[in-house]
Chain A
Amino acid sequence: MSEPAHTADGHDDPHVEPGAHGSMGSYMIGFGLSVLLTAIPFWLVMGNVLGSAQTTGLVIMGFAVVQIVVHMIFFLHMNTRAEGGWSMMALIFTLVLVVITLSGSMWVMYHLNHNMMPMSAHDMSQMP
């Protein structure tokens, strides 16, 4: 993508990997994609294009996942080689924890709400 990074005195800079910052082209591709991936979900929801709320919800979640990947690649310059693969390892570990936290909380709390004793409005008003 770009030539190897050099410091002002001509030594190879050990901290900066080649192409670590991306190039004008990759930033513009990333920006174009994210504008598209932002505009479409807003359009789907505001225009009520798909009709069904459930379908729309699934589709916009798909768009969000794709857009996050686009940002990771084009703006955060994630790849499997950065820092000897440890950045990617930390990211994968975090993603696993995020998925467990999110899906676990929603799942458990949904069932908790579902199995609660039914309570009438009158009972609710008697609550302390």
Chain B
Amino acid sequence: MANTTTSDSAFLDAQGNPLFHLAREPHHPEGASTMLGFWIYLMSDCLIFACLFATYGVLGGSYAAGPGPRDLFDLPLVAVNTAMLLLSSITYGFAMLAMEKNRIAATQLWLAVTGLFGLAFLCIELYEFAHLIHEGATPQRSAFLSAFFTLVGTHGLHVTFGIVWLVTLMVQVGRKGLILANKRRLMCLSMFWHFLDVIWIGVFTFVYLMGMLR
């Protein structure tokens, strides 16, 4: 390529040497690609859950003569848990609507309500886990229980970090207000939070409801 000459000045630098990269970066406003990047992160997270669902699907019937879903799961409790997560989703939606109108107090209020619903979800899940372990249905008991605790526990861990993130953003909004950067962060957390709700749909259908039908 060294002796290739071109008369087009766009491909030559000031000294007349050929250029193999763009002379000027196209203008990107700050954070313009954050939402797409975060979406791609969520999609990769989705693949983690797909693997865990596949593991549960394969091992979900291997009880090793231990307790099965019918002996362990308490559907009314799962229904309450599902309601908590669903309510937290809609209250996060209200926070986003308040954010669009630049109402800081209303945004903070709805974020706090969302956090409380998330916390309620976690408490119920931890209560359920504690109950199972107390009955001897520990992750070590059978392949079914290992897969169950890994899948549901990973989702619970995501919710935990979502709550940490939510509190962090409430502090940020409290200190700096609804600046553009904070709005972008709140939109990312919004996607994360609703995404966790989507995963939970899979969990309660595939693990709890289908488990009772086995």
Contact = CB atoms under 8 A, between A and B. Distances in A.
The yes or no verdict on A and B being binding partners is yes
Query: Which of B82, B93, B202 gathers the greatest number of chain A CB atoms within 10 Å?
Result: B93
A31 B90 contact: yes
16 contacts: A14-B32, A20-B187, A21-B99, A22-B93, A34-B86, A41-B209, A45-B212, A61-B205, A64-B201, A71-B194, A75-B93, A83-B39, A90-B43, A94-B46, A98-B50, A109-B58
B101 to A, nearest CB: 10
Interface residues of B, number: 51
Given A46-B75, A71-B201, A76-B195, 19 more contacts: A15-B184, A21-B187, A22-B96, A30-B93, A38-B82, A38-B83, A42-B75, A42-B82, A46-B76, A53-B213, A64-B206, A71-B89, A75-B89, A75-B93, A83-B39, A97-B50, A101-B50, A101-B51, A102-B57
Interface in A103-122: 104-106, 109
Contact of B50 (A20, A42, A102, A109): A102
A105 B43 CA distance: 20
Contact of B96 (A21, A31, A86): A21
Given A24-B97, A63-B205, A102-B54, A93 B86 contact: no
A14 B213 CA distance: 50
Interface in B159-201: 180, 184, 187, 191, 194-195, 197-198, 201
Nearest to B178: A8
B100 A15 contact: no
Interface of A: 2, 5, 7-8, 13-15, 20-24, 27-28, 30-31, 34-35, 38, 41-42, 45-46, 53, 56-57, 60-61, 63-64, 67-68, 71-72, 75-76, 83, 86-87, 90-91, 93-94, 97-98, 101-102, 104-106, 109
A38 B86 contact: yes
A60 B83 CA distance: 17
Complex A-B, nearest 8 residue pairs according to Cβ-Cβ distance, in ascending order: A105-B54, A64-B205, A75-B194, A27-B93, A94-B43, A98-B50, A109-B58, A53-B213
Given A38-B86, A42-B79, A72 B35 contact: no
Contacts, number: 128
A59 B143 CA distance: 27
Contacts of B31: 15
B35 A15 contact: yes
Contacts of B206: 61, 64
Interface string B15-54: 0000000000000010110111001100100110011011
A105 to B, nearest CB: 4
A76 B198 contact: yes
Nearest to A69: B198
A14 B28 CA distance: 10
